[in-house]
Amino acid sequence: MPENLIARLVPHQGCVITPKDDFIEIAGSAMNWVMSAGVAPLVCRAPLAFRVVGRTDSTNLRMHWHRGELIFNSEVRYDGAGDYSGIESAPSVGPCFGSTISIREFTITPLG
């Protein structure tokens, strides 16, 4: 079973990580397009499974890896097929537009 990384996330670009009972809250910048996030202290290569169990209090819950992001509860974004096998990057999760997210699980599982 992959390690739950919520206790190891590092704040990036103005976010604040607050531990709660069995989850964390991540509050970010209220500035538009600022990628505030809790970053995992590891580097991952594709293929991988990125699992987040959480919720947002208002606008966004965003998962990031390299230059890509998966946005829940938000704008429509471009998605395209490609060869990501040579990319190494740290995964992260964060809010946007002033939201606060609550995260119970953040795991990364290599698939290759």
Instruction: Assess whether the previous peptide bond of 11 is cis (omega < 30° from 0).
Output: no
74, burial (CB in 10 Å: exposed 0-12, middle 13-18, buried 19+): middle
> Is residue 1 in some structural domain?
no
Distances (CA, A) of 15 to 25, 26, 70, 98: 10, 7, 18, 10
pTM above 0.75, yes or no: yes
> Is residue 64 in some structural domain?
yes
Output the six-digit token pair for 83.
């060869």
- Mean pLDDT over the full length of the chain: 85
The predicted-structure confidence for 28-65, as pLDDT tens digits, reads as follows 866 666 678 999 999 998 888 889 999 999 878 888 88
The pLDDT > 70 percentage for the chain reads: 84
Domain extent for 41: 6-75+86-110
State the average pLDDT over residues 85-94.
90
Domain count of the chain?
A: 1
> Is residue 23 in some structural domain?
yes
